[in-house]
Structure 1
Amino acid sequence: MTGIQGPAHKRNMTRRKVVVAGGAAVAVASVGGGIAVNAFASETSDSSTSSDASTETCYKLTSETTEGPYYIDADKLRQDITEDKEGIPLTLTLKVIDSETCKPIKNAAVDVWHCDALGIYSGYESLSTGAGGGAPTDAPSGTPSDAPTGEPPSGAPSGAPGGGGGGGHQEPTDDERYLRGTWKTDKSGHVTFKTIFPGWYQGRCVHIHVKVHVDGEWTDAGYEGGHTCHTGQFFFSEESVLASAEVEPYSTSTTTRTTLTEDTIYDQSGTTGGLLKLKYNKKKIEKGVHASITMGVDPDETHDGTDDAVQPGASASASAS
């Protein structure tokens, strides 16, 4: 497996190709019969998240994390990754900067992927734990399956493997590709995705996976070459997750929820660790959420997430999905 490599390895690139998907982008799934046109007109900031971009220290590297077992290369080139999945509309705005120079990185290929509102990953529906509370094959038996609350469930394993995939990559089991996509950063380093607020599954807090690829080439066929300079995960405040748990279909889940402080992948470092800044109407989160973060990366390094250090407190098995 490829580990963290220095600049000398920058030119030793492996070929990466993303196939362009045909057809028009699919609109974001509606919640409760429709989405308000001005979804964020009455938005309020989630005070439990990190400080805004104006106070960020741009020289800090964003934490590297495990890739997890459910990454699929050659995802669809698109910004709207919702397909027909139901859930709270989420606009995810990312900015990628060079952590040393603080300059934006343009034309980088950014991958995002996450589970649906009930904890299922596309491409791995038969392996995902899902909303029924079924424990993965390597989880302890007798794990409780209570409705989500603000407190960790009694006796719940800390950082138990989630999704049944263990720490290594799993081959896809189906052809579904919802809630996955790739798009390029603009000249200011920004890229935006339309998706839904993720759900949860046993052993992990609510999160989104991300990869940043640089030094490749955009062609008619997609994105080719280059290397992965960052593999990370984004996290959501407890306040926002508890609010989402009151909205269908999230409210129908009976899966034990791991809190942000329990999670063994999140390193508790706020923005540096991937904690998103969130804006939404706290009384009507179902109207939509806007999430944003600036990622500081080192474009000369290689971090593909298959052999990067797991965050403090995490066991090898806890790096699952």
Structure 2
Amino acid sequence: MTESQGPAHKKDMTRRRVIMAGGAVVAAAGVGAGVVATASAGEEKGAASGAKAGQGEVCYRLTSETTEGPYYIDADKIRKDITEDKEGIPLTLRLKVVDSDTCKPLRKAAVDIWHCDALGIYSGYESMSQGGPGGGAPPSGAPTDAPTDAPTGTPTGTPPSGGPGGGGGHSEPTDDERYLRGTQLTDRHGFVEFTTIFPGWYQGRAVHIHTKVHVGGTMTDAGYEGGHTCHTGQFFFAESAVLDSAKEEPYSTSTTTRTTLTEDTIYDRSGVAGGLLKLSYRKGGMVRGVTGSITMGVDPDETHDGTDL
């Protein structure tokens, strides 16, 4: 399955669960007057609640396994701050990983994230990326995770029709840049936190962040090695937050056609269970920073490396 294939092609994951813990998202105490707090913008409807998991935690069915896309690079940058010198709205990404069967935190799981910069460029693949002012297309024949029938005008809110387009298979890096990529081990409570920037967009995809969760491996001087990948997914952003980001530089300088959340062929419209982040930022002051949070339920005994869909 390529990254452009829709939710109809996804494996049935109904026997697995994910917890959306109140403590794992933006703390209620931090959401007051003058603060924008958004989780779903009406997109949570697909998360069917299950049994109580204690202390206000509710189990949800997991529907968020996705393809890894063409721009993955093995976890070799063990770090919290992945920004390097990239400009953009500061983003603090707070993630919690739990066992989808026991609802307990997973300790020492390696959480890997990667995403494009404010103008849609991926490190390691700068010559292939579709971002940047003008939305330059990749070289002929270069793999891409954008559907070929991507909207060419103002977003209409209607998902694109037609079959999958573009190659979703992995591509070898074309340069040595590694900004906006990093890996960390979860603490005993299952948490990791990354310092990065709010991603931009490129033609054919809504704003998103890729993630993988690895278990059973070890930390070495070269990075995280061994074990297996038990989850491959993507995080998404409410449309209202993306529109707020588009008012700020350098996002506002992009002329790339933007795909909305409802037009995206990867997001399955199940809200938080499908990877939609809880976001918090000062109203009218997004440029000062955004906090994004989510809990991921994974089955550490299974393998989902993004090529099994």
Structure-2-length-normalised TM-score: 0.77
Q: Deviations over 1:241-278 (max 9, x none)?
A: 00000000000000110000000100000111000000
Mapping for residues 127-276 of structure 1, pairs under 5 Å = 127-131=128-132, 132-136=134-138, 137=140, 144=152, 151-152=155-156, 166-276=167-277
Q: What is the CA–CA distance in structure 2 between the aligned matches of 1:123 and 1:183, rounded to whole Å? A: 20
Mapping for residues 19-98 of structure 1, pairs under 5 Å = 43-46=35-38, 48-49=40-41, 57-58=58-59, 60-98=61-99
Per-residue deviation at 1:45?
A: 1.0
Q: Which residue of 2 aligns with 1:299?
A: 300
Q: Which amino acid aligns with 1:134?
A: G
Per-residue deviation at 1:61?
A: 2.5
Q: Which amino acid aligns with 1:248?
A: E
Task: State the secondary structure of the residue aligned to 2:58.
Answer: coil
Per-residue deviation at 1:153?
A: 8.4
Per-residue deviation at 1:140?
A: 5.5
Q: What is the CA–CA distance in structure 2 between the aligned matches of 1:141 and 1:214, rounded to whole Å? A: 37
Q: What is the CA–CA distance in structure 2 between the aligned matches of 1:179 and 1:115, rounded to whole Å? A: 7
Task: State the secondary structure of the residue aligned to 2:273.
Answer: helix
Q: What is the CA–CA distance in structure 2 between the aligned matches of 1:142 and 1:93, rounded to whole Å? A: 31
Q: What is the CA–CA distance in structure 2 between the aligned matches of 1:269 and 1:58, rounded to whole Å? A: 14
Name the stretch that deviates more: 70-79 or 173-182: 70-79
Unaligned runs of at least 5 residues, structure 1: 5-39, 309-321
Identity of aligned residues (%): 72
Q: Deviations over 1:69-97 (max 9, x none)?
A: 00001431101000000000000000000
Q: 1:41 to 1:179 in 2, by over 3 A?
A: farther
Per-residue deviation at 1:216?
A: 1.2
Q: Which residue of 2 aligns with 1:105?
A: 106
Structure-1-length-normalised TM-score: 0.74
Alignment size in residue pairs? 265
Q: What is the CA–CA distance in structure 2 between the aligned matches of 1:141 and 1:269, rounded to whole Å? A: 23
Is the CA contact (8 Å cut-off) linking 1:62 and 1:295 kept in structure 2? no
Task: State the secondary structure of the residue aligned to 1:58.
Answer: strand
Q: 1:270 to 1:215 in 2, by over 3 A?
A: same
The structure richer in strand per residue is: 2
Q: What is the CA–CA distance in structure 1 between the aligned matches of 2:117 and 2:298, rounded to whole Å? A: 27
Is the CA contact (8 Å cut-off) linking 1:152 and 1:257 kept in structure 2? no
Is the CA contact (8 Å cut-off) linking 2:150 and 2:204 kept in structure 1? no
Name the stretch that deviates more: 76-85 or 216-225: 216-225
Is the CA contact (8 Å cut-off) linking 1:91 and 1:195 kept in structure 2? yes
Q: What is the CA–CA distance in structure 1 between the aligned matches of 2:209 and 2:180, rounded to whole Å? A: 10
Per-residue deviation at 1:58?
A: 3.0
Per-residue deviation at 1:219?
A: 3.8
Q: Which amino acid aligns with 1:255?
A: T
Q: Which amino acid aligns with 1:235?
A: F
